[in-house]
Amino acid sequence: MSRFESSNEFKDFIGRDIEEVYAKLFGAGKPVGGLRDGGKDIPTGLKDMPFVQTKGSIQEAYKFSEKSKEFGRFIPICVGEPGTKEEVVESLRSYGAWFEKDIPHRQELLQEYRKRRAEIYDTSRNAANTGKANNRTRWN
């Protein structure tokens, strides 16, 4: 499947069902239990980004990015209706996030999220250099 045919199909999913939408998009398995970080990890089948998480709003994504800092590992985020798998993966690699196309000021928000990703990587690197790294996640 490369795209959801009906824009209403996505709107039928609520809560944890959004995780299933992205799991279906990536086609790499079912969401797995998280690490007390407020969500489930969705396998992507991608070596450079094995998991993503979904959030219901930009505000939730930003809150989650703060938790990522605490955990010392960046986890890419998807918010809203997915585009094609290729669009989602490109955005995740470029910005660390996919935000639904209809979100106002989407490009500016993605640029801001890219900065947050860099901050989390800097925090992780600094922690590793001082011997205070948090190794609670399965991937780098």
Greater confidence (64 vs 8) lies with 64
Greater confidence (45 vs 128) lies with 45
122 pLDDT more than 60: yes
Greater confidence (3 vs 86) lies with 86
Structure tokens at 38: 């407020």
Region 102-115 average pLDDT: 95
For 54, list phi and psi in degrees, rounded to 5. -110, 150
Query: Whole-prediction pTM value?
Result: 0.76
**For the segment 6-59, what is each residue's pLDDT rounded down to a tens digit?**
444 444 445 568 888 999 999 999 988 765 556 688 999 999 999 999 988 999
Q: How far is CA 77 from CA 5, 93, 122, 128, in A?
A: 23, 11, 18, 23
State the alpha helices, DSSP H only, in 1-140.
7-11, 17-26, 58-71, 85-95, 106-129
Could you give the CA distance from residue 132 to residue 65 in angstroms, rounded to a whole number? Answer: 19
What residue spans define the domains of the chain?
Answer: 7-129
